[in-house]
Amino acid sequence: MFFEVVKEDARTKARLGRIYTAHGIVETPVFMDVGTLGTVKALEPRDLSELGAQVVLGNTYHLMLRPGAEVIAAAGGLHRFMGWNGPILTDSGGFQVFSLARMRRITEDGCLFNSHIDGHEFFLGPKESMAMQRVIGSDIAMVFDECLPYPCGRERAEKSVDQTIRWAQVSRDQPHADGQRVFGIVQGGVYDDLRRRCAEELAGMGFDGYAVGGVSVGEPEERMYQAVDASVPYLPTDRPRYVMGLGVMRQMAECVARGVDMFDCVIPTRIARHGTAITRRGNVAVKAARWAFDQGPVEEGCECYCCRNFTRSYVRHLFACGEILGLRLLTIHNVWALNRFMKEMRAAIGGGTFSEWKEQTRKETEENE
């Protein structure tokens, strides 16, 4: 068995589940921590375990450029290379190739592009992406797709969805690492019928799980929920569903109510390095001068290592001086905060109080926005 629904919420589509991977069990709904280059920036794998992190994300595009397939293969895969023995999910590189790289040419087989690092020419398509993910040895590999920008015209979106569906088939048919599961990605921009068609065609191919891609790319929040609603109902109920690139607490709760099980986002660790803490009452710029004398923790009531041991005054001081410990402490807090949020959410679903919990969370955030 790969995925098990343990409990379904009576009033929403929220569900409590378990994903069984070769590197451990993942309790869902889950927020996955992003370790683009084989490291969740500023954290050690032992920190991740202590912070309740369940899955680390790696990125095919970035790892293909640096250190490259040969180096990871020599280590016997990414788990051993980075010293993380828990589950790893790899993004296919589709998103990065279309957003970061200088594109040379798109063909039926993939994309010819120049590396964003040194301009070196690379080719990445479904075959290359799956081959790289096989070397990485991720527990969950994603198909190679095209992530549409927002806004995007109807004609462009239609062509892109057709391409994404063809690439999904090629991705699925490639050889995979032992025990590696493969997820399809629903695209279609803001067009409900395209999303539905994409979801149905992917479901017909029989993937191990399904992602909703191309959301949280700058569209209004309502558009995002609309894209989820246009995709999720057409996906099999006995497979995990994953909204890519989303990590805002309130939005994750809304998506879980719509039947989503998995999320990832680079923002929590990125804003930590810029001095911003994620709290249940909104984001707090800890490096602001007004905290210079504040003897309270970064977040009142938080039980993370940072909040148990240090004051806002101290963390602010570290940022003001460019001390590396500041980045580390706030990263610890943010990763803990999101994992704790998901843990509470799972407890609420398990206890049959998800709707009340979600409403309470929404009010808390709104009061402070």
Can you say whether residue 4 is alpha, beta or left, with left for phi > 0 and alpha for psi between -120 and 50 degrees? beta
Binding characters for Zn ion, 304-343, by CB under 5 A (x = yes): x-xx-------------------------x----------
Q: How far apart are CA 207 and CA 229, in angstroms?
A: 20
3-state helix, strand, coil in the chain (%, to 5): 45, 20, 35
Report yes or no: 259 and 13 within 8 Å, Cβ to Cβ.
yes
Span from 35-43, 208-216, 253-261, 295-303 in contact with Zn ion (CB under 5 A): 295-303
- Cα torsion through 69, 70, 71, 72, rounded to 10: 50
Active-site annotation holds for 264: yes
Catalytic residue among 91, 139, 145, 261: 91
Which of 209, 170, 155 is closest to 186 using CA atoms? 209
Choose, by CB under 5 A, the member of 30, 199, 227, 302 that binds Zn ion: 302
Shortest Å, Cβ 280 to Zn ion: 11
Using CB under 5 A as the binding rule, whether residue 286 contacts Zn ion is answered as no
Interface with Zn ion includes 199 (CB under 5 A)?
A: no
- Establish if 124 lies at the interface with Zn ion (CB under 5 A): no
How far is C-alpha 39 from the geometric centre of its chain's CA atoms? 14
DSSP 8-state code for residue 307: H
Q: Which is nearer to Zn ion, 226 or 311 (CB)?
A: 311
Minimum separation from the CB atom of position 249 to Zn ion (A) = 14
Least Cβ distance, residue 277 to Zn ion (angstroms): 7
Shortest Cβ distance from residue 224 to Zn ion (Å)?
A: 28
Nearer to Zn ion (CB atom), residue 243 or residue 307: 307
Interaction of residue 267 with Zn ion, rule CB under 5 A: no
SS3 category, 240: coil
33 carries an active-site annotation: no
Residue from 33, 145, 261, 264 carrying the catalytic annotation? 264
Tokens 């719509």 belong to residue = 258
Q: State the catalytic residues.
A: 91, 264
